[in-house]
Amino acid sequence: MTTPSPLRRPRSLFSLERMRSDKRVTWLTIVGIVLVPLVIGGLLVWALWNPTDRLGEVKAAVVNLDQPVTVNGQVVPLGRQMAAGLLSAKNENFTWVLTDQKDANAGIADGSYVAVVTIPKNFSKAATSTAGTSAAATQATIDVRTSQKSKLVDPAISQAVTTTATGVLNKQLTTTYLENVYVGFNTLHDQLAKAAAGAGSLSSGLTQLASGTHQLADGATQLSTGADSLASGLGQLSGGASGLASGLGTLSDGMTQYANGVSQGAAAAQQLPAGAAQLATGTAGVRDGIGATVTALTELEKNCKALHPGVGTTPDPICAGIQATIAGLTKPDTGLQPVASQVAAGAQTLSSSVAPLPGQLAQSASAAQQLASGASQSASGAQQLASGVQQSADGASQYAAGVQQFAAGVPALASGADQSAAGAASLASGLDQAVAKLPSYDAGQRTNLASVASQPVGQKQSGTTAFGASSVPLFASVALWLGAFASFLVLQAISRRALLTSRAAGLIASDGLVPAAVIGVVQGLLVAAIMQPAMQLGVGAWFGFAGVAAAVAVCFAAVNHGLVALFGGLGRFLSMLVVVVTLASGIVSTAPGFFDSVTAWLPTSPAITALQGVVDGSTGVWRGLGGLLIWTAIGFGLALAAVARRRIVTAAQLLPAE
């Protein structure tokens, strides 16, 4: 059997060689290589696309051991509400099964339930403990267990679901509590309004009190002056009362003497009627005697004129004398006869008048005696009055001193009343302001405020969800990288037959790259097609994504070609590291910073940037394409280096095998 010469030219420069065999690569192999990224990308999307939409396929158990409590006469079954909240969320939750403790333990042990939520016996009591004393307040807890046979992220999902359910119940409790708080605001508003009205009335009353206190101060001053005047007047009255007592004593003595004198006069007056009668009789006799004399003289005259007629016109002196005597006795005003008549009449009147005089004088003497006795008693009373008035004067002096002290204290009281009135006015004003600022809510407002206050920060869903459209560039890059990696698991990176020819190194390197690059273009188009339902791009944007995906596949083919051509198995190992680091950095942000630092220098980084730029419509697509171009050149450079190294044949390689 002859061995083909190593310098023999191959039949076809474009026939594909397997990695470890001289068998030709069939079209079935090529189809398999093309399907690698399609299958990988499809499986990634199928397995990880929006996992929250498929939570209903997972079963979990609820064990409700809670005993309801009664708060303000109303039964509160919070454990039942918690279980109902988990069971009712059909589309956004696990398929929850309400069961007992025994079944839950069995299910968690064999993996039938990924999680078991146990609501303890004192759940309602603890959750409503804030309605009691502060010392009795206790936080309600639930027990969440996950199965040892659950998947990697099942515990996290279980925790997220139960946390959400707990948050909903907390919101309900907080909403109820806040509604009661807002009702308390209304009550406080009404009570403060009443207090403000009362404070206003108090301020008005204190203002009137202050005004009255000022008037009281003025009156107290006047009262103090009047008290001084009263004390002085009572002093003078005491002195006057003493003088009155002395005068009444003197009056009593004088009246006693007067009574004695009147008694003596009464005794003497008893003789007056007899003397007056004698006087009347005597005067009557005198009158009669004068009358008789006048009569006699008249007769005598007549006789005298007869006896002694006058000579010529000269009267007779004797007759004239008689006539003059008669005339003197009978003259109306000064004549003795009229006077005697008057005296007789007066004597008669005197006799009549003095008849009751003794009795009257006796009565006067008795009255004077009584007056003297009364004056004596009055003097004694006046003396007592003087003593009492003196005591009153002393008391008035003390009263005046007290009134002065009171008058001195009233201004301070008035000042305090002013301050109290001002304070009450300030209180009323402050309460009015408090009432104005203190809100009052109706039922709708309380419900809205309680809802907002119980969850002050909401979340508006925007962009994509976890493992949604934002994950497409990562999935596509990983799929295309694995597609390129699979290509060089089957294809020979550098044709051994081509190395024995005189072709240029660049052409030999191209011979190994072009088939993988063509396959990569097909892979890129297929990946863009399989990702479209997730991205829902427009026609133009999808063609852009498909073009960038094809460019990414060509770049990845060049890099994998260069790694395998130059480093062989080490190159494949490095290629696998690229996938691991890219996935570790792209799936979760909690990965160590090392992964992000290394990923920035990997060829998958500009690929993700370019693809994300197409999805977002940003300029990152051009920056990513620039990075892909650089990595393509690097990969082709590694292939050129591999061709150059493998064309060097050592002497040992030329020796025939023994």
Summarised one tens digit per residue, pLDDT across range 509-551 is: 888 889 989 999 998 999 889 888 877 888 998 999 999 999 9
pLDDT of 560 over the 90 cut:
yes
- The whole model's pTM is what? 0.47
Q: What is the pLDDT of residue 334?
A: 65
- Cα–Cα distance for residue pair 161/62, rounded to 1 Å: 12
In angstroms, rounded to a whole number, what is the distance separating the alpha carbons of residues 43 and 36?
Answer: 11
36 domain-assigned: yes
Provide φ and ψ at 251, rounded to 5°.
-60, -40
Residue 298 token pair:
């008249």
Give the residue-averaged pLDDT of 261-284.
73
Instruction: Give the model confidence (pLDDT) of 70-79 as tens digits.
Output: 877 888 788 8
Residue 262 predicted with pLDDT over 90 = no
Q: Which long-range contacts (CB under 8 A, 24 or more apart) does 378-382 make?
A: 378/248, 378/252, 379/245, 379/246, 379/247, 379/248, 379/249, 379/251, 379/252, 380/245, 381/245, 382/241, 382/242, 382/244, 382/245, 382/248
Residue 418 lies in a domain: no
**Do you know the residue count of the chain?**
658
pLDDT band at 392; cut points 50, 70, 90: confident
Domain membership flag for residue 534:
yes
Q: What is the pLDDT of residue 561?
A: 92
Domain of 562, in residue numbers:
27-49+471-654
> Residue 41's pLDDT is what?
58
Angle of helix 505-535 relative to helix 27-48, nearest 10 degrees, comes to 40
Q: Is residue 583 part of a domain?
A: yes
Q: Name the residue with higher pLDDT: 49 or 202.
A: 202
The more confident residue out of 401 and 541 is: 541
Instruction: Choose between 400 and 462: higher pLDDT.
Output: 400
Q: What is the pLDDT at residue 169?
A: 64
Name the domain count of the chain: 1
pLDDT over threshold 50, residue 599: yes
Find the mean pLDDT for residues 409-419.
Answer: 73
Mean predicted confidence (pLDDT) in 192-200: 72
Residue 499 falls within a domain, yes or no? Answer: yes
Is residue 371 within 8 A of residue 255, CB to CB? The reply is yes
DSSP code at position 491: B
Give domain status of residue 480, yes or no.
yes
- Judged against a pLDDT cut of 50, whether residue 343 lies above it is answered with yes
Q: How confident is the model at residue 2 (pLDDT cuts 50, 70, 90)?
A: very low
| Interhelix angle 539-567/604-616, nearest 10 degrees | 180
Is 356 inside a domain boundary? no
Positive or negative, the CA dihedral 344, 349, 352, 353 is: negative
Q: Flag whether pLDDT at 344 surpasses 80.
A: no
Cβ atoms within 10 Å, residue 634: 16
CB-based contacts of 430, cutoff 8 Å, min separation 6? none
| Residue predicted with more confidence, 139 or 20 | 139
Please choose, from the candidates 390, 377, 381, the residue with its C-alpha nearest in 3D space to the C-alpha of residue 239: 390
520: in domain: yes
